[in-house]
Amino acid sequence: MFNLSVDIDINSGFCFGVVYAIEMAEDILNEEGHLYCLGDIVHNDEEVKRLEKMGLRIINHEELKSLRDAKVLIRAHGEPPSTYQLAIQNNLELIDASCPVVLKLQNRIKNSFDKEENIYIYGKHGHAEVVGLLGQTNDQAVVFQDIEELNLEELPSEITLYSQTTKSTDKFYEINQMLQENGISVKTNDTICRQVSNRDKELREFAKKFDVIVFVSGTKSSNGKVLHKICADQNPRTHFVSSIGDVKSEWFGKDERVGICGATSTPMWLMEEIKGHLEKL
């Protein structure tokens, strides 16, 4: 027996956008027993499996084209205008669970596009949220993951800068400063969700308090990769797991203190399950 003392980070787990989407899905599944969802409702396989047992069916954009007369959930990441147009053509009822923070950002980008501004978006190529943002500009905005992707000498003298909502605030302002230092006039729009970005600071403090950190996240979660690195930088004995099956007893010593934390897409029930497992080791 290891006799581990285990604590879960109270700030970890679903952000309000994900809570909102899952509650909408559960309400319909409880009433009707089936619902389509465009893309993974959340980047966590264990949570997706739980909802699939309730009757959720994950479909992709290709499958959406041939779907008719059905209810389809739009997840928290949001969608481009083309998805809404397709829904009208195919008589689909969209249950729109787009995160309010994402919707506000989409509107701001659309306004900038209507004013014919040069729009640059700091975000992950191909990420669902970014695809929705690009759609507001007829795919004309420039998306970059790193400032090194941009040729600063060829950039317009004036640009409008936005960010995917889950990016690091520090990195965003670093990029903003570099652009200005290179003589570019930047109209900066800080559109990063503070519920997500504040987790950086909270996790730094949390990771230092324990002998071992078990970071729980789905492998598809961008936010999970970023937050896991933050924990690992503070505590080298940080281990990434997606389910109980990934936990290894050789990570722990007798009477050690273990902290469990996770991404904005990690369900609390999964962290509780892992806590119970560790307490039995």
Name the token pair of 101.
């923070």
Q: Residue 99 contacts by C-beta under 8 Å, 6 or more apart in sequence?
A: 15, 16, 17, 18, 20, 21, 76, 77, 78, 165, 193
Q: Are residues 171 and 112 in the same domain?
A: yes
pLDDT band at 187 (very low <50, low <70, confident <90, very high): very high
**Total count of domains within the chain:** 3
Q: Are 13 and 275 in contact (CB under 8 A)?
A: no
Q: Are residues 243 and 201 in the same domain?
A: yes
Out of 173, 192, 211, a domain closes at: 192
* pLDDT tens per residue, range 78-121: 999 999 999 999 999 999 999 999 999 999 999 999 999 999 99
Report the SS3 class of residue 113.
helix
| Parent domain of 50 | 16-99
Q: Are residues 33 and 51 in the same domain?
A: yes
Q: Are residues 186 and 201 in the same domain?
A: no
- Catalytic site includes residue 272: no
> Which residue is catalytic, options 26, 129, 250, 279?
129
Q: Are 72 and 93 in contact (CB under 8 A)?
A: yes
Q: How far apart are the first and last CA of the chain?
A: 6
Out of 76, 99, 122, a domain closes at: 99
Q: Are 5 and 254 in contact (CB under 8 A)?
A: no
Q: Are residues 109 and 153 in the same domain?
A: yes
d(CA 3, CA 177): 49
* pLDDT tens per residue, range 221-271: 988 998 999 999 999 999 999 999 999 999 999 999 999 999 999 999 999
d(CA 217, CA 225): 8
Checking if the pLDDT of 195 tops 90, the result is no
Amino acid at 70: A
Checking if the pLDDT of 197 tops 90, the result is no
By percentage, how much of the chain surpasses pLDDT 90? 93
Name the token pair of 49.
């499996």
Out of 45, 66, 99, a domain closes at: 99
Checking if the pLDDT of 69 tops 90, the result is yes
pLDDT band at 168 (very low <50, low <70, confident <90, very high): confident
d(CA 259, CA 6): 6
Question: How much is the pTM?
Answer: 0.91
Q: Are residues 68 and 119 in the same domain?
A: no
